[in-house]
Amino acid sequence: DPATSKGPVERKVVRIVTPGTISDEALLQERQDNLLAAIWQDSKGFGYATLDISSGRFRLSEPADRETMAAELQRTNPAELLYAEDFAEMSLIEGRRGLRRRPLWEFEIDTARQQLNLQFGTRDL
């Protein structure tokens, strides 16, 4: 108990907060979405997912080209943007707030499909 201790007190992490995972209304700005987003690119175009932790709103899109992806980033203005370590279009995201470089395995498509189907109780996306 910190109140009765005379020496160091062991603390435990109770939650980890990043810019896109803030859900405490006192810390959120009114009239502004606080989105956690992830961006992916392959030969067919882009994949883009956004999640508003406070409302549970989840959205997926597949912008076909760089211009459409740039417009989507501008429109959504995520608080945190996750991207794979081999993301080729760095000029598209440079200067954005909350950039988080992530390992490739976190963007593995089969695992992502499986996890989304589990989360939403579906057989197919």
Residue with tokens 């395995």, as numbered in its chain? 105
Q: Is the pLDDT of residue 124 over 90?
A: no
Q: What would the pLDDT profile of 69-114 be if each residue is shown by its tens digit?
A: 999 999 999 999 999 999 999 999 999 999 999 999 999 989 888 9
DSSP label at residue 115: H
Q: What would the pLDDT profile of 60-78 be if each residue is shown by its tens digit?
A: 999 999 999 999 999 999 9
3-class SS at 112? helix
Q: What is the structure's pLDDT at 100?
A: 95
DSSP label at residue 79: S
Q: What is the structure's pLDDT at 13?
A: 64
Q: Which amino acid is at 20?
A: G
Residue with tokens 């603390």, as numbered in its chain? 11
Sequence-ordered strand ranges (E) for the chain: 35-42, 45-52, 57-61, 80-84, 99-102
Q: What is the structure's pLDDT at 31?
A: 57
Q: Is the pLDDT of residue 20 over 80?
A: no
| Best CA proximity match to 80, nearest among 111, 110, 101, 59 | 101
* Cβ(35)–Cβ(53) below 8 Å: no
Q: What would the pLDDT profile of 42-62 be if each residue is shown by its tens digit?
A: 999 999 999 988 788 899 999
Tokens coding 118: 């589990």
Task: Please name each of the domains of the chain with its CATH number.
Answer: 35-120 (3.30.420.110)
Q: What is the structure's pLDDT at 115?
A: 87
